[in-house]
Amino acid sequence: MSESQDLLRVQTYIGKMPALPVTVTKVIEICNQPGTSPVDLNKVISVDPVLMARVMKLINSAYYGLGDKVTSLSRAIIMLGINTVKNLALSTAVVGAIGKGEPASPLNMQGFWRHSLGVGVTAKLIARKRSVDPRLIEEYFIAGLLHDIGKIPMNNVFKERYLAVLSRADRERISLADAERRELGFDHTDVGRQIGTAWNIGGAVIDAVSAHHNVGGYEGEHRDLVATVHVANYFMNLAEVGFAGDRFPGTPSQEVYQRLGIGLSLLDELETAVDTEIAKAEVFLKVVDERGGA
């Protein structure tokens, strides 16, 4: 089968994926407008009981570690911040739409999502270490959580051939993205970009999905975030936290470390914190599971 036919199969699969809920699309649209207020967001979320329940469950989870139980949606939005609410609405919707693998597919979804959570919390911890604006910290987590979403359609569409991709990466000791390109002619970042376009995700998250294996070639406005997800992904593969098919990830360049002002020693410093944060962050997956993936 030709590369164009393979790509068409993936595009067809993406076209058949459930659309993001209307409320989530509206939340993203409103949050991307200048001057959006918590009141604007409250009006949209309050008419969607499922999304409202997710927001309330998340803010009262160990992930945010707040002392008193929050019972008011408007207070939750103010405490979390508009950007964080947008990102949690997006992340739970995406996980709900494509979070499960097909039967007998090569990638184990439990390992996949543990790796993804690991990259998300590591990216967040690195951002915090670098004193990134607190209002943007959650964006690092979401970008890390969703960085590999392009693997799911490939894993589900090709099955036997994707198993060959995984085997080739191991046999030739190359990154999974390289093995995908050699076997299929495109990689999971290309597929992830298509998902982002189909769902009109845009912004920092889709840049991380598209460019976390090509930091040197990325010239957009989210360089620090893309570089952070790149490093976090390498760290989690090195530490074998979960498994997303990549035993030989590309090593971050010295320029990337210099840009972020960090070194490899940071992995040892963050190891305990990463385990703790992964346990807390699992609520992002549970919130979806408990509602049947809706």
| pLDDT tens over the chain, length 294 residues | 566 788 899 999 999 888 888 898 899 888 888 888 999 999 999 998 988 888 888 888 888 877 788 899 998 888 888 888 888 888 888 888 887 666 677 888 889 999 999 999 999 999 999 999 988 898 999 999 999 999 999 999 988 899 999 999 999 999 999 999 999 999 999 999 999 888 888 788 999 999 999 998 998 899 999 999 999 999 999 889 999 999 998 899 999 999 999 988 887 888 889 989 998 888 887 766 554 443
Class of domain 3-289: mainly alpha
Residues 6+ apart with CB under 8 A from 75: none
- CA–CA distance, 288 with 97 (Å, rounded to integer): 9
Q: If we measure between CA atoms, which residue out of 9, 217, 262, 249 comes closest to residue 118?
A: 249
Report which of 100, 114, 199, 207 is spatially closest to residue 152, judged by C-alpha positions.
100
**Domains in the chain: boundaries:** 3-289
